[in-house]
Protein backbone atom coordinates (compact mmCIF):
# COMPACT_ATOMS: atom_id res chain seq x y z
CA UNK A 1 0.00 0.00 0.00
CA UNK A 2 1.52 3.35 -1.04
CA UNK A 3 0.78 6.60 0.76
CA UNK A 4 2.02 10.04 -0.18
CA UNK A 5 3.21 12.32 2.64
CA UNK A 6 -0.28 13.72 3.22
CA UNK A 7 -1.79 10.25 3.37
CA UNK A 8 0.87 8.83 5.64
CA UNK A 9 0.58 11.56 8.21
CA UNK A 10 -3.18 12.09 8.19
CA UNK A 11 -4.95 9.05 6.78
CA UNK A 12 -3.37 6.80 9.39
CA UNK A 13 -4.33 9.13 12.21
CA UNK A 14 -7.95 9.63 11.31
CA UNK A 15 -8.75 6.25 9.83
CA UNK A 16 -7.82 4.57 13.08
CA UNK A 17 -4.92 2.51 11.81
CA UNK A 18 -2.62 3.81 14.54
CA UNK A 19 -2.54 1.71 17.70
CA UNK A 20 -0.92 1.92 21.11
CA UNK A 21 -1.00 -0.54 24.00
CA UNK A 22 -4.21 -0.13 25.97
CA UNK A 23 -2.29 0.33 29.21
CA UNK A 24 -0.73 3.52 27.92
CA UNK A 25 -4.04 4.83 26.64
CA UNK A 26 -5.58 4.35 30.07
CA UNK A 27 -2.90 5.75 32.33
CA UNK A 28 -3.84 9.44 32.10
CA UNK A 29 -6.10 11.23 34.55
CA UNK A 30 -8.64 13.63 33.14
CA UNK A 31 -8.11 17.32 33.67
CA UNK A 32 -10.44 18.99 36.15
CA UNK A 33 -12.84 21.27 34.26
CA UNK A 34 -11.73 24.84 34.94
CA UNK A 35 -15.13 26.53 34.96
CA UNK A 36 -18.14 26.55 37.22
CA UNK A 37 -20.28 24.94 34.56
CA UNK A 38 -17.94 21.99 34.36
CA UNK A 39 -18.21 21.40 38.08
CA UNK A 40 -21.82 20.40 37.56
CA UNK A 41 -21.00 18.09 34.64
CA UNK A 42 -20.91 14.31 35.11
CA UNK A 43 -17.59 13.00 36.33
CA UNK A 44 -15.25 11.78 33.63
CA UNK A 45 -15.73 8.09 33.14
CA UNK A 46 -12.85 5.70 33.59
CA UNK A 47 -11.49 4.56 30.26
CA UNK A 48 -12.35 0.90 29.85
CA UNK A 49 -10.69 -1.51 27.52
CA UNK A 50 -11.97 -0.69 24.04
CA UNK A 51 -13.98 -3.19 22.08
CA UNK A 52 -12.80 -4.31 18.67
CA UNK A 53 -15.17 -1.83 17.05
CA UNK A 54 -13.81 1.01 19.19
CA UNK A 55 -10.10 0.34 18.76
CA UNK A 56 -9.89 2.23 15.50
CA UNK A 57 -10.92 5.43 17.28
CA UNK A 58 -9.54 5.11 20.80
CA UNK A 59 -6.20 3.39 20.38
CA UNK A 60 -4.26 5.61 18.03
CA UNK A 61 -0.55 6.29 18.40
CA UNK A 62 0.57 8.85 20.95
CA UNK A 63 3.20 10.14 18.57
CA UNK A 64 3.44 11.48 15.06
CA UNK A 65 4.65 8.91 12.52
CA UNK A 66 8.30 7.91 12.84
CA UNK A 67 9.74 9.15 9.56
CA UNK A 68 12.85 7.88 7.78
CA UNK A 69 14.16 9.23 4.47
CA UNK A 70 16.34 7.04 2.24
CA UNK A 71 18.11 8.23 -0.90
CA UNK A 72 19.36 5.70 -3.44
CA UNK A 73 22.99 5.99 -4.46
CA UNK A 74 26.38 4.38 -5.00
CA UNK A 75 28.88 3.75 -2.19
CA UNK A 76 32.07 1.71 -2.36
CA UNK A 77 31.05 0.46 -5.79
CA UNK A 78 27.67 -0.87 -4.57
CA UNK A 79 24.09 0.25 -5.07
CA UNK A 80 22.82 1.31 -1.63
CA UNK A 81 20.32 3.31 0.36
CA UNK A 82 21.76 6.39 2.09
CA UNK A 83 20.05 7.86 5.17
CA UNK A 84 18.89 11.48 5.05
CA UNK A 85 18.50 13.49 8.27
CA UNK A 86 18.23 12.55 11.93
CA UNK A 87 20.31 9.77 13.44
CA UNK A 88 20.64 7.97 10.08
CA UNK A 89 22.04 10.95 8.17
CA UNK A 90 24.62 9.79 5.56
CA UNK A 91 24.62 6.22 6.85
CA UNK A 92 24.75 3.49 4.22
CA UNK A 93 21.84 1.04 4.45
CA UNK A 94 21.02 2.43 7.92
CA UNK A 95 19.33 0.39 10.62
CA UNK A 96 15.83 1.82 11.15
CA UNK A 97 14.84 1.47 14.81
CA UNK A 98 11.20 1.91 15.90
CA UNK A 99 9.01 0.86 18.81
CA UNK A 100 6.26 -1.72 18.69
CA UNK A 101 2.92 -0.18 17.70
CA UNK A 102 4.37 2.92 16.07
CA UNK A 103 3.43 4.14 12.63
CA UNK A 104 6.47 4.10 10.35
CA UNK A 105 6.76 6.33 7.31
CA UNK A 106 9.57 5.72 4.81
CA UNK A 107 10.34 8.32 2.16
CA UNK A 108 12.32 6.97 -0.80
CA UNK A 109 14.20 9.43 -3.04
CA UNK A 110 15.91 8.44 -6.27
CA UNK A 111 19.46 9.75 -6.00
CA UNK A 112 21.05 8.68 -9.29
CA UNK A 113 18.36 7.98 -11.91
CA UNK A 114 18.15 4.19 -12.04
CA UNK A 115 14.90 2.44 -11.19
CA UNK A 116 14.49 1.46 -7.51
CA UNK A 117 11.90 0.68 -4.87
CA UNK A 118 11.85 -0.34 -1.18
CA UNK A 119 10.05 -3.41 0.16
CA UNK A 120 9.47 -4.94 3.61
CA UNK A 121 7.93 -8.38 3.08
CA UNK A 122 6.77 -9.05 6.65
CA UNK A 123 4.55 -5.95 6.59
CA UNK A 124 3.43 -6.28 2.98
CA UNK A 125 4.71 -2.72 2.65
CA UNK A 126 6.39 -1.28 -0.41
CA UNK A 127 7.06 1.95 -2.22
CA UNK A 128 6.27 2.70 -5.81
CA UNK A 129 9.14 2.30 -8.29
CA UNK A 130 11.00 5.60 -8.66
CA UNK A 131 12.66 6.04 -12.03
CA UNK A 132 13.92 9.58 -12.56
CA UNK A 133 16.53 11.35 -10.46
CA UNK A 134 14.90 13.08 -7.43
CA UNK A 135 11.64 11.18 -8.00
CA UNK A 136 10.19 10.05 -4.69
CA UNK A 137 7.65 7.72 -3.13
CA UNK A 138 6.32 7.39 0.42
CA UNK A 139 4.82 4.37 2.15
CA UNK A 140 3.64 3.67 5.69
CA UNK A 141 2.79 0.76 7.95
CA UNK A 142 2.27 -0.07 11.61
CA UNK A 143 5.16 -1.80 13.38
CA UNK A 144 2.98 -4.52 14.89
CA UNK A 145 5.63 -7.29 14.97
CA UNK A 146 8.73 -7.26 17.20
CA UNK A 147 11.98 -8.33 15.59
CA UNK A 148 14.42 -7.54 12.79
CA UNK A 149 13.18 -7.37 9.22
CA UNK A 150 14.97 -6.63 5.97
CA UNK A 151 14.08 -3.75 3.72
CA UNK A 152 15.43 -4.05 0.20
CA UNK A 153 15.07 -3.13 -3.46
CA UNK A 154 13.01 -5.75 -5.31
CA UNK A 155 14.26 -4.93 -8.82
CA UNK A 156 16.28 -7.84 -10.26
CA UNK A 157 19.82 -7.94 -8.92
CA UNK A 158 19.60 -4.78 -6.83
CA UNK A 159 19.31 -6.50 -3.47
CA UNK A 160 22.30 -8.68 -4.30
CA UNK A 161 24.19 -5.56 -5.41
CA UNK A 162 23.90 -4.03 -1.94
CA UNK A 163 20.46 -2.44 -1.56
CA UNK A 164 19.42 -4.03 1.73
CA UNK A 165 19.09 -2.79 5.30
CA UNK A 166 17.41 -3.73 8.57
CA UNK A 167 14.25 -2.49 10.28
CA UNK A 168 14.39 -3.25 14.00
CA UNK A 169 11.12 -3.15 15.96
CA UNK A 170 11.80 -3.10 19.71
CA UNK A 171 9.19 -4.01 22.33
CA UNK A 172 7.68 -1.44 24.64
CA UNK A 173 6.11 1.97 24.31
CA UNK A 174 8.30 4.91 23.37
CA UNK A 175 6.50 6.98 26.02
CA UNK A 176 8.05 4.76 28.70
CA UNK A 177 11.57 5.81 27.73
CA UNK A 178 13.26 7.79 30.55
CA UNK A 179 13.62 11.54 30.09
CA UNK A 180 17.11 12.99 29.93
CA UNK A 181 16.15 16.62 30.62
CA UNK A 182 13.38 18.74 32.15
CA UNK A 183 9.82 18.59 30.84
CA UNK A 184 9.31 22.14 29.58
CA UNK A 185 5.88 21.41 28.08
CA UNK A 186 2.99 23.53 29.32
CA UNK A 187 -0.04 21.36 30.13
CA UNK A 188 -2.86 22.81 27.99
CA UNK A 189 -5.19 22.51 30.99
CA UNK A 190 -2.85 24.73 33.06
CA UNK A 191 -4.61 28.07 32.98
CA UNK A 192 -6.53 30.17 35.51
CA UNK A 193 -10.32 30.15 35.52
CA UNK A 194 -12.55 32.90 34.14
CA UNK A 195 -12.72 36.27 35.89
CA UNK A 196 -16.34 36.97 35.07
CA UNK A 197 -18.19 39.92 36.56
CA UNK A 198 -15.92 41.85 38.89
CA UNK A 199 -14.79 45.44 39.16
CA UNK A 200 -11.51 46.56 37.65
CA UNK A 201 -8.56 46.47 40.06
CA UNK A 202 -4.77 46.34 40.20
CA UNK A 203 -3.43 42.88 39.32
CA UNK A 204 0.16 41.87 40.09
CA UNK A 205 1.83 39.47 37.66
CA UNK A 206 5.19 37.84 38.38
CA UNK A 207 7.25 36.38 35.54
CA UNK A 208 10.70 34.84 35.78
CA UNK A 209 12.87 34.25 32.73
CA UNK A 210 14.59 30.87 33.04
CA UNK A 211 17.14 29.26 30.72
CA UNK A 212 17.23 25.46 31.04
CA UNK A 213 17.93 22.26 29.16
CA UNK A 214 14.63 20.64 28.20
CA UNK A 215 13.35 17.53 26.46
CA UNK A 216 12.72 18.39 22.80
CA UNK A 217 12.05 14.81 21.63
CA UNK A 218 12.53 11.28 22.95
CA UNK A 219 16.33 11.31 22.74
CA UNK A 220 16.80 14.99 21.96
CA UNK A 221 17.45 17.93 24.27
CA UNK A 222 17.62 21.67 23.66
CA UNK A 223 18.42 24.74 25.74
CA UNK A 224 15.15 26.64 26.05
CA UNK A 225 14.67 30.22 27.17
CA UNK A 226 11.35 30.42 28.98
CA UNK A 227 8.93 32.37 31.08
CA UNK A 228 8.53 30.45 34.36
CA UNK A 229 10.27 27.32 33.07
CA UNK A 230 7.60 26.18 30.58
CA UNK A 231 6.69 26.68 26.92
CA UNK A 232 4.55 28.60 26.39
CA UNK A 233 4.81 30.95 29.36
CA UNK A 234 1.94 31.12 31.86
CA UNK A 235 -1.55 32.01 30.63
CA UNK A 236 -2.24 35.50 32.03
CA UNK A 237 -5.80 36.63 32.66
CA UNK A 238 -7.07 40.12 33.52
CA UNK A 239 -10.16 42.15 32.66
CA UNK A 240 -10.52 45.34 30.67
CA UNK A 241 -9.81 48.32 32.88
CA UNK A 242 -7.43 46.46 35.18
CA UNK A 243 -4.10 48.01 36.10
CA UNK A 244 -1.36 45.43 35.57
CA UNK A 245 1.70 45.61 37.82
CA UNK A 246 4.28 43.38 36.16
CA UNK A 247 7.40 42.15 37.95
CA UNK A 248 9.93 40.57 35.61
CA UNK A 249 12.78 38.70 37.28
CA UNK A 250 15.69 37.26 35.31
CA UNK A 251 17.16 34.17 36.99
CA UNK A 252 20.68 34.83 38.25
CA UNK A 253 22.11 31.84 36.35
CA UNK A 254 20.82 33.20 33.00
CA UNK A 255 23.38 34.07 30.35
CA UNK A 256 21.16 36.53 28.50
CA UNK A 257 19.28 39.76 29.14
CA UNK A 258 15.54 39.18 28.76
CA UNK A 259 12.41 41.33 28.58
CA UNK A 260 8.70 41.10 27.77
CA UNK A 261 6.53 42.79 25.14
CA UNK A 262 2.76 42.57 25.71
CA UNK A 263 0.71 42.96 22.54
CA UNK A 264 -2.18 43.81 24.87
CA UNK A 265 -0.39 46.82 26.40
CA UNK A 266 -0.25 50.36 25.07
CA UNK A 267 3.13 52.06 25.50
CA UNK A 268 6.79 51.88 24.36
CA UNK A 269 7.61 48.39 23.17
CA UNK A 270 4.53 46.94 24.85
CA UNK A 271 6.52 47.32 28.14
CA UNK A 272 9.76 45.99 26.59
CA UNK A 273 11.34 49.44 26.91
CA UNK A 274 11.09 49.16 30.70
CA UNK A 275 11.83 45.45 31.18
CA UNK A 276 15.28 44.83 29.68
CA UNK A 277 16.43 42.78 32.66
CA UNK A 278 19.97 41.63 33.46
CA UNK A 279 20.63 38.18 34.96
CA UNK A 280 19.81 38.27 38.67
CA UNK A 281 17.90 41.56 38.37
CA UNK A 282 14.20 42.47 38.52
CA UNK A 283 12.28 45.17 36.69
CA UNK A 284 8.76 46.48 37.29
CA UNK A 285 6.35 48.13 34.87
CA UNK A 286 2.70 49.14 35.20
CA UNK A 287 0.21 49.39 32.36
CA UNK A 288 -3.53 49.70 31.86
CA UNK A 289 -5.48 46.95 30.09
CA UNK A 290 -7.41 49.23 27.76
CA UNK A 291 -8.68 46.83 25.09
CA UNK A 292 -10.26 43.37 25.58
CA UNK A 293 -8.97 40.49 23.48
CA UNK A 294 -6.51 37.59 23.39
CA UNK A 295 -2.94 38.82 22.93
CA UNK A 296 0.53 37.32 22.52
CA UNK A 297 3.39 38.34 24.78
CA UNK A 298 7.03 37.53 24.05
CA UNK A 299 10.61 38.49 24.83
CA UNK A 300 11.75 41.58 22.91
CA UNK A 301 15.49 41.59 23.53
CA UNK A 302 17.67 41.49 20.39
CA UNK A 303 17.87 39.21 18.55
CA UNK A 304 14.10 39.07 19.11
CA UNK A 305 13.43 36.05 16.84
CA UNK A 306 16.21 34.17 18.66
CA UNK A 307 14.53 34.70 22.04
CA UNK A 308 11.12 33.77 20.65
CA UNK A 309 12.19 30.58 18.89
CA UNK A 310 13.83 29.40 22.11
CA UNK A 311 10.41 29.45 23.81
CA UNK A 312 9.80 32.96 25.13
CA UNK A 313 6.14 33.52 24.27
CA UNK A 314 2.71 33.21 25.89
CA UNK A 315 -0.85 34.57 25.91
CA UNK A 316 -2.56 37.36 27.81
CA UNK A 317 -6.38 37.35 27.88
CA UNK A 318 -8.02 40.68 28.62
CA UNK A 319 -11.64 39.73 29.33
CA UNK A 320 -14.44 42.10 28.36
CA UNK A 321 -16.73 43.39 31.09
CA UNK A 322 -18.73 40.44 32.40
CA UNK A 323 -16.31 37.93 30.85
CA UNK A 324 -16.68 35.54 27.92
CA UNK A 325 -19.62 33.14 27.41
CA UNK A 326 -19.28 30.20 29.75
CA UNK A 327 -17.93 26.84 28.53
CA UNK A 328 -17.18 23.54 30.25
CA UNK A 329 -13.47 23.26 29.53
CA UNK A 330 -10.73 25.62 28.46
CA UNK A 331 -7.33 24.75 26.96
CA UNK A 332 -4.19 26.73 26.18
CA UNK A 333 -2.20 25.83 23.05
CA UNK A 334 0.57 27.70 21.25
CA UNK A 335 2.56 26.89 18.13
CA UNK A 336 6.23 27.63 17.59
CA UNK A 337 9.30 26.69 15.57
CA UNK A 338 12.81 25.58 16.54
CA UNK A 339 15.83 25.90 14.26
CA UNK A 340 18.51 23.35 15.12
CA UNK A 341 21.91 22.80 13.52
CA UNK A 342 21.25 19.09 13.02
CA UNK A 343 18.17 17.68 11.24
CA UNK A 344 14.85 16.87 12.86
CA UNK A 345 15.02 13.69 14.93
CA UNK A 346 18.76 13.73 15.62
CA UNK A 347 19.58 12.37 19.08
CA UNK A 348 21.55 14.27 21.69
CA UNK A 349 21.77 17.90 22.71
CA UNK A 350 20.86 20.25 19.86
CA UNK A 351 22.04 23.81 19.26
CA UNK A 352 20.20 26.70 17.64
CA UNK A 353 21.17 27.55 14.04
CA UNK A 354 20.92 31.31 13.51
CA UNK A 355 21.38 31.04 9.75
CA UNK A 356 18.38 28.70 9.50
CA UNK A 357 16.43 31.09 11.74
CA UNK A 358 16.93 34.14 9.57
CA UNK A 359 16.41 32.03 6.43
CA UNK A 360 13.14 30.69 7.91
CA UNK A 361 14.08 27.01 7.59
CA UNK A 362 12.97 25.36 10.84
CA UNK A 363 13.69 21.74 11.72
CA UNK A 364 10.82 21.53 14.25
CA UNK A 365 7.21 22.76 14.32
CA UNK A 366 5.73 22.28 17.79
CA UNK A 367 2.66 22.65 19.96
CA UNK A 368 3.57 23.72 23.52
CA UNK A 369 7.27 23.40 23.09
CA UNK A 370 8.19 19.79 22.29
CA UNK A 371 7.52 16.79 20.05
CA UNK A 372 4.68 14.77 21.58
CA UNK A 373 3.70 17.59 23.96
CA UNK A 374 -0.02 17.22 23.23
CA UNK A 375 -0.04 13.53 22.31
CA UNK A 376 1.78 11.44 24.88
CA UNK A 377 2.82 14.07 27.48
CA UNK A 378 -0.26 16.27 27.92
CA UNK A 379 -3.13 15.33 25.56
CA UNK A 380 -6.38 17.21 25.96
CA UNK A 381 -9.28 15.40 27.69
CA UNK A 382 -13.01 16.14 27.64
CA UNK A 383 -16.42 14.41 27.62
CA UNK A 384 -19.27 14.13 25.15
CA UNK A 385 -21.79 16.91 25.70
CA UNK A 386 -19.23 19.42 26.93
CA UNK A 387 -18.32 22.69 25.27
CA UNK A 388 -14.61 23.22 24.74
CA UNK A 389 -12.70 26.47 24.30
CA UNK A 390 -9.14 26.58 22.97
CA UNK A 391 -7.08 29.71 23.36
CA UNK A 392 -4.65 29.32 20.45
CA UNK A 393 -1.68 31.51 19.65
CA UNK A 394 1.41 31.47 17.45
CA UNK A 395 4.71 32.42 19.01
CA UNK A 396 6.46 31.67 15.74
CA UNK A 397 8.59 33.56 15.15
CA UNK A 398 8.00 33.16 11.41
CA UNK A 399 5.17 30.88 10.24
CA UNK A 400 1.41 31.36 10.05
CA UNK A 401 -0.69 28.46 11.35
CA UNK A 402 -3.82 27.07 9.71
CA UNK A 403 -5.24 25.70 12.95
CA UNK A 404 -7.65 22.79 12.48
CA UNK A 405 -9.14 20.03 14.64
CA UNK A 406 -9.68 16.95 12.48
CA UNK A 407 -13.24 15.68 12.93
CA UNK A 408 -14.62 18.87 14.51
CA UNK A 409 -16.08 22.14 13.29
CA UNK A 410 -15.60 25.33 15.30
CA UNK A 411 -18.97 26.62 16.47
CA UNK A 412 -17.46 30.02 17.23
CA UNK A 413 -14.20 31.65 16.20
CA UNK A 414 -13.10 34.96 17.66
CA UNK A 415 -11.29 36.10 14.53
CA UNK A 416 -7.87 37.70 15.01
CA UNK A 417 -8.39 37.46 18.76
CA UNK A 418 -11.13 40.08 18.91
CA UNK A 419 -13.71 39.45 21.65
CA UNK A 420 -15.75 42.59 20.92
CA UNK A 421 -16.72 41.61 17.35
CA UNK A 422 -19.39 38.94 16.76
CA UNK A 423 -17.65 35.55 16.47
CA UNK A 424 -17.66 33.66 13.19
CA UNK A 425 -19.73 30.46 13.16
CA UNK A 426 -19.28 27.07 11.50
CA UNK A 427 -15.56 27.41 10.72
CA UNK A 428 -13.33 24.52 9.59
CA UNK A 429 -9.86 26.08 9.78
CA UNK A 430 -8.58 29.38 11.14
CA UNK A 431 -5.43 31.22 10.05
CA UNK A 432 -3.33 32.66 12.87
CA UNK A 433 -0.23 34.72 12.02
CA UNK A 434 2.97 34.73 14.07
CA UNK A 435 2.39 37.04 16.99
CA UNK A 436 -1.35 36.49 16.65
CA UNK A 437 -4.00 34.54 18.53
CA UNK A 438 -7.57 33.35 18.35
CA UNK A 439 -10.25 31.69 20.47
CA UNK A 440 -12.29 28.74 19.18
CA UNK A 441 -15.31 27.11 20.83
CA UNK A 442 -17.07 23.88 19.90
CA UNK A 443 -19.43 21.35 21.44
CA UNK A 444 -18.46 17.68 21.61
CA UNK A 445 -21.25 15.56 20.15
CA UNK A 446 -19.45 12.24 19.72
CA UNK A 447 -16.79 10.29 21.59
CA UNK A 448 -13.45 9.47 20.01
CA UNK A 449 -10.05 10.99 19.36
CA UNK A 450 -9.73 14.30 17.55
CA UNK A 451 -6.40 15.45 16.11
CA UNK A 452 -5.07 19.00 16.43
CA UNK A 453 -2.99 20.06 13.43
CA UNK A 454 -1.74 22.95 11.40
CA UNK A 455 -3.32 22.23 8.03
CA UNK A 456 0.01 22.97 6.40
CA UNK A 457 0.22 19.23 6.88
CA UNK A 458 3.85 18.60 5.99
CA UNK A 459 4.57 20.06 9.42
CA UNK A 460 3.26 16.84 10.94
CA UNK A 461 6.54 15.28 9.89
CA UNK A 462 8.32 17.94 11.95
CA UNK A 463 6.47 17.22 15.21
CA UNK A 464 3.28 19.28 14.98
CA UNK A 465 0.29 17.23 16.21
CA UNK A 466 -1.96 17.04 19.27
CA UNK A 467 -4.81 14.87 20.54
CA UNK A 468 -8.17 15.71 22.07
CA UNK A 469 -9.49 12.51 23.68
CA UNK A 470 -13.26 12.60 24.17
CA UNK A 471 -14.91 10.08 26.49
CA UNK A 472 -18.54 9.16 25.93
CA UNK A 473 -20.98 7.58 23.49
CA UNK A 474 -19.86 7.19 19.89
CA UNK A 475 -23.31 8.31 18.66
CA UNK A 476 -23.65 6.28 15.46
CA UNK A 477 -26.29 8.68 14.17
CA UNK A 478 -23.51 11.21 13.60
CA UNK A 479 -20.91 8.81 12.19
CA UNK A 480 -20.36 5.09 12.03
CA UNK A 481 -18.46 2.60 9.93
CA UNK A 482 -20.34 1.05 7.03
CA UNK A 483 -23.60 1.82 5.21
CA UNK A 484 -26.61 3.49 6.83
CA UNK A 485 -28.23 1.37 9.53
CA UNK A 486 -31.81 0.28 8.93
Which residues contribute to the annotated binding site? 116, 153, 158, 163, 258, 261, 263, 298-299, 307, 312, 455
C-alpha closest to that of 139 among 1, 11, 13, 16: 1
Pairing of strands 202-217, 220-227: antiparallel
Give one DSSP letter per residue of 253-315, joined into a string: T-SS-B--EETT--SGGGGGGG--B-TT-EEEEEEE--S-EEEEEE--SSSHHHHHHTT-EEE
Specify binding-site residues for Cu cation. 258, 263, 298-299, 307, 312, 455
Sheet (strand 437-443) strand order: 364-367, 329-338, 387-396, 437-443, 410-414, 424-427
Specify binding-site residues for Cu(2+). 116, 153, 158, 163, 258, 261, 263, 298-299, 307, 312, 455
CB 380, CB 368: distance < 8 Å: no
Sheet (strand 243-250) strand order: 282-288, 243-250, 202-217, 220-227, 348-350
Rg of the chain over Cα atoms, rounded to whole angstroms, equals 24
- Three-state DSSP class for 156? coil
Which residues, including other chains, have CB under 8 Å from residue 451's CB and lie 6 or more apart? 13, 14, 405, 406, 407, 465, 466, 467, 468
Amino acid sequence: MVFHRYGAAIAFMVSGLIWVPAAHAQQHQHATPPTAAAADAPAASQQSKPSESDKSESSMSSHAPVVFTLRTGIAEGRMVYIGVGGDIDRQVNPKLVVHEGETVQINLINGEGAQHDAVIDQYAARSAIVSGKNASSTFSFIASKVGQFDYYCSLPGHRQAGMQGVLQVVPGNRAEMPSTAADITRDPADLPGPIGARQAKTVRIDLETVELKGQLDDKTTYTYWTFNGKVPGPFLRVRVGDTVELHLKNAKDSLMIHSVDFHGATGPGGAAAYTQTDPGAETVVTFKALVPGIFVYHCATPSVPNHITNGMYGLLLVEPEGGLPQVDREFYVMQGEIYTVKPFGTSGEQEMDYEKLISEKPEYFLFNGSVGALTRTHPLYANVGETVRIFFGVGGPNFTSSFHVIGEIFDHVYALGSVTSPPLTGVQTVSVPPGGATIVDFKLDRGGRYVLVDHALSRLDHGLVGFLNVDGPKNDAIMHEGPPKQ
